[in-house]
Every structure is written in C-alpha cells, then in structure tokens.
Structure 1
C-alpha cells in the first residue's frame, strides 16, 4: 500500500510502499533531477558510501581512475535530457557531479549475470489480463544495494509518463512501464551474443528509457528496436495488455521472438529463436537453460490460472525446487523481483530478505485516476 507523500520538493514528492521509495517527479528533466536528488538525498549518500566507497573502492580495490572512466564512458553518449537529470541530482543530493556519475554506473563495475522473465496471457491467464514476472539477478553484494531500490515515476514536460525500477541514483531502464501500458524488462544476453562490445554507441539501457518515454505501443517500439543497435548483447522482453515479445538484441543483429506457446513467453539469458542456429550447453550461461525449462514447466502446469498471486508464488520457487530464483545465500542472488499487469498499470515488487511483495499502483501517478 502506498503511503505519503512523506516529503515534497519543487513539484516532486516521495511516497513509500513498505520500505520501497516511490518518487513522483514532474517538469523539465533538470527539474526532475533536482527533485530526485533532494527527496532521496539520504538514500543516495548512503548507497554511495555502501557501494562505491566501502565495497568497490575499499573491499574490491577498484581503481578510482577505472571507476571514473567507466562512469564517464556510460555518460558520454547520454542524450541531453538524461544528462540534465544527473546534473539536477548533483545540485541537491549532497553528492558531487563526479560522485553522481559513479553512482549512476553502479551496475557496470562487474560482469553481468542472469535474469529471468515469464509472461502469460490468453488461455494461460484464463482470459484475465496479461501478467509479467521478472527476476533481477546479480552478484551477492547487489542484494545489499537493493535495499535502496526505487520506483521513479517521471512526468516530463514532453514525453509519456514512465516508471523505472532500479537502484537509487541510476538513470536508465532495466525494468519499467509507461502510462500507455508498455512494460519492458532487460536480461543479459552475453551467453549467446558473446563479449563483443562497441564503444561508439549510445548505451542500450539509456535508449530503452527513451523508448518508454517516446512510444505508445508495440508497433512503434518494434520500429525503435529495428532501428537501434546496442553496444553489447541483451534480451529485452516487452509486453502490453495483450501480448509479449522477446527481442534477442545483439550488436550485429536482432530477432523478435513470439511466445513459446500461444499465451506464454519465457526468456532467460540465451537466444532461443531458431533462426540463430545456436545451442547453449546446459552447464553454462548462469544456469540459463535450467531456469528457462523450469519456468516453462511452471507456466504449463498453471495454465488457465496465471494471475498476480500465482506469478508471485512461482517467482518465489528456488531453482533447486523447480523454479528460477537464486538462493538468498550464494555468489549469485535474485536481487529484486517484479510482477506487472500492464493493463492495470500495476506492479508488485519484492527485495528478497528485505522487503516482501508490496504493491505499487501506478494509475494515480500516471493521472489515470485521482490520487
């Protein structure tokens, strides 16, 4: 249940759903950055200390120069509107511009791991609305960082209101939904696409945030995928109220995959579209084949009954018990989880070990109903 607003600043407001921060941001991109920085100043400073200073610099011994180079490389090709957000944040958060950029690159200081996505509609939901589930998996340290997970709802002066779900201070899209009911989630695709990386392309994670703010439905966003090349390999799962697709998105090619069955789509970290002609060994790719097969089996065994409650229950099943979720102890963890119903503009979010499933109804924030 959403509570608040707890704090207001320059047209923005901070709400809470359980321990989860929910930001309601309005105006120019610079203004929204200032609101974000002020409303979450404590969280941003705490996360910077925990992640950047204590973990990456002190515990891992990461070079400050390398960290700054990584942060600058991410920022170098940001569109101006997203640069303006980070500039505004640094004006009010208590972090310097350089520190703000370091925090923005939080997920780039290590190797990508695995994520899982499952989407059900039609016969699989018994005629109910499409329901999407996603596990966001990363290394164990990120489980602590996820205590600063934030839902930021952006209302730009020009653009579609959009919500992004990620670590505090991170300005791009790995999980999100817009006011038109377009939902996206990002999975690592390196087990199939390899380590090929381009340094002269706009980061895909930034382009995806633009897609949410610029496109109303599946047809225009499909054109955007066909017109954009990522810097390295991802699998992007996209859904609206009635269907879902997996974009197997490599720097050199892209293939859109329909559901595995009529009404069920599962994607983990390897390409599945038969046109690739690729195979992945069972013991590689962060258990990608196992997680995929487990989710397909769970989807079929719950055919006709897939709703929000069922999806949450399925995402709670650990990998060794037939699910796709990494254990709460171990080098790789399921850091956060999201269940989304695009038709209802609603989210359920969980941070394992910190915040149980909690609801975020986006309709009031998207001005679809009165707050």
Structure 2
C-alpha cells in the first residue's frame, strides 16, 4: 500500500489510521501474540505500568509520536494502548521477543565505488515473526519538510526512508545472548533507537549521527545513514555509538557488530550463522562491481540467492521461524529517490518515488 499523508502529526495519524486500519490491526495482533512467548517472568501488570511510565517520558521528549498514535486510534478503531505497545517497544515487546526478528542486510556504495559518483543505500527487511505488514508513506508537514518512508504499518519508531534534505537511513538488528537490557533505565529512554527524529530533523548525515549519539536507549542495533556527501555505519549499543566510514566507497552491515571493541556482544556462528553468510556475500558482490555500481547493481545485490545451507540476501519462506524478506529498498540522496518493493527484491521494483 502506498499513501500520501500531510499536515500535523495528529492529522497524518488520522489519515494513516483510516487508510491502513486492516494492516495496522494485523500488526497489533502479531505483536500481541509475541507476549506469551517471552522469557519466564512476564507480568502483564508490570508491562502495562512500564509502558505508561515510558509514555510519560515520550510525552516530554517527542510528543509527535503520541499525537500521531492518537490520530491513528481515532480512525482505525484500534485501542490507543495497543498502538503504544506496538511503538514503545518495551523489554517484553522487543528486546526479548523480537531479539532475533530483524535479520536484515544493508549495503552502502558511494563516490569511488559507483559509476555515476552518486550514493546508494540498499536494504532488505527480513523478519522471522510479526509484525510484518508494510506501508509506503509520502509525508508532508506544515513546516515544509517531507520524507519518503517505508513503515511497518502503525509502528512509527522504525521508519526506513529519505527526507527532503537527502538524509537516508537503514537498520538491521544485532542480538546475542550477551546483550543485556537494563530495564532500570527503561522509564526514561527509548527501548530501541527511535529513527523518527533523524528523518524529521536531520539536515545531514552528521546531524543524524549526533541525534543518535544523544538519544537515551536501553538496546541497540546496526544503522546506516547517508547524505549526498557522507556515509556512516553506526554500531549502536545501550551506551555508545561506534562509527565507521566507507572503505573505498563501500559499507556492508548485517546482524553483527564489526567493531573489535564490540566483539563481546556479537553473535557467534552457532547463534546466527546467516548474518556472516550475508555479510560475506554482500561484500563479495559489492567489491566485484566496484567502480561500476548503480541502482540496478544494488538491486541485484538485494535479489541475490545462494544454495543452502548458506543464507541468501533475498530470503524466501522456508523452515518455520527461519525468516523471509518482506521488503527491499534502495535510496539515492542525490536524486531524493527511493526504489522499493514489498516482498522479495527478486520480483522486481514495485515503487519508484522522488521527494
């Protein structure tokens, strides 16, 4: 589904809720179904109280999120608290239950690596459990800012997109049994990084980097951020951000940290062999096309398949809980454009939009 929404955050929420109610309702159902599957000790009362305390903090630091959720609730027929659950990502909802869900691949090529000197950020969104329903948004705000956004419908805190300044972001999860979530800090922090402020406010990749450094959080992830002149890979933990720049114009990230300083948090091959398979394959393909990369090259990387038992970049439904690719996208800051599909990238580009 592709939608154009405009106005205030509340007004955009009303438009999103009216148009995508069925998708959002299914995502709420899938997210709620995860709760009984979390580690022992789940207490619904404590979960609700934690979410409400976090809501009070969000109301102070980023009220736009709650305003949009109220708008969605009004027109979708969904309960506001269910939307909070989908967005505040409390420990039970994300850091444990979702820990192995976001198995995605990111590739950045710029400058000397590309045929035209432009910058490209390519990404798959791979999920092994819900929520899985997506929507493509064109957002326009009253202050003149805008962005193109791929969103898990109703989950506003994890947008993938590009804004009117040409700042684009991508993400992939990073989990191992050694990642510890400190819930004592959870009342006044994001439970995973919130990418909304980056796409809403950042005028450059450097500003995006500072926003993420300053953001309180209790869990991390891998993130890429680019503009027309710069590109960074951010390895985010609960208390630090490790930054890497492209090597000869290329960056690849999957679901493990690359920085030696974070090696103790990286999954082992027995915990997640697929992240190492996809990292090696994406690096191989990007290096093989060095100096000649364009949008089509990046899409070919996202569409790549390898024989089992190695894990492909473009993943199809197979064994239970093994994960599959639900979306693919390529952003270009110079063109203020995104090419995207909902489903497997090997099926081809479904949308092309320019901001």
Structure 2 match to 1:84: 67
- For residues 216-243 of structure 1, the C-alpha deviation after alignment (integer angstroms, 9 at most, x for no partner) is 0122222223323431121111011233
Structure 2 match to 1:101: 84
The DSSP-based 3-state class of the residue aligned with 2:83 is helix
Number of aligned residues: 335
The counterpart of 2:24, out of the listed 44, 65, 73, is 44
Gaps of 5+ in 1: 1-20, 364-371
Pair 1:223 & 2:203 matched = no
Classify 1:97/1:118 alpha carbon distance in 2 versus 1 (closer, same or farther; 3 Å): same
Pair 1:341 & 2:321 matched = no
Shift of 1:31: 1.5
Q: Give matches, 1:47-86, under 5 Å.
A: 47-48=27-28, 51=30, 55-56=33-34, 68=48, 72=52, 75-78=55-58, 79-86=62-69
Shift of 1:254: 1.8
Q: Give matches, 1:1-371, under 5 Å.
A: 21-48=1-28, 51=30, 55-56=33-34, 68=48, 72=52, 75-78=55-58, 79-104=62-87, 108=94, 109-113=97-101, 114-139=103-128, 141-142=129-130, 146=132, 148-158=133-143, 160-191=145-176, 194-197=179-182, 198-203=185-190, 207-259=194-246, 261-276=247-262, 281-320=268-307, 323-330=312-319, 331=321, 332-352=323-343, 356-363=348-355
Using structure 1 for the length normalisation, give the TM-score: 0.78
Gaps of 5+ in 2: none
Measure the CA separation in 2 of the matches of 1:244 and 1:73.
36
Classify 1:289/1:201 alpha carbon distance in 2 versus 1 (closer, same or farther; 3 Å): farther
The answer as to whether partners of 1:33 and 1:87 remain within 8 angstroms in 2 is: yes
Measure the CA separation in 2 of the matches of 1:59 and 1:270.
24
The answer as to whether partners of 1:44 and 1:169 remain within 8 angstroms in 2 is: yes
Measure the CA separation in 2 of the matches of 1:73 and 1:362.
39
Structure 2 match to 1:9: none
The answer as to whether partners of 1:120 and 1:130 remain within 8 angstroms in 2 is: yes
Measure the CA separation in 1 of the matches of 2:53 and 2:76.
22
The answer as to whether partners of 2:315 and 2:344 remain within 8 angstroms in 1 is: no
Shift of 1:196: 3.1
Classify 1:244/1:327 alpha carbon distance in 2 versus 1 (closer, same or farther; 3 Å): same
Measure the CA separation in 2 of the matches of 1:275 and 1:205.
21
Shift of 1:83: 0.5
The answer as to whether partners of 2:222 and 2:236 remain within 8 angstroms in 1 is: yes
Shift of 1:93: 1.1
Classify 1:193/1:335 alpha carbon distance in 2 versus 1 (closer, same or farther; 3 Å): farther
The answer as to whether partners of 1:164 and 1:173 remain within 8 angstroms in 2 is: no
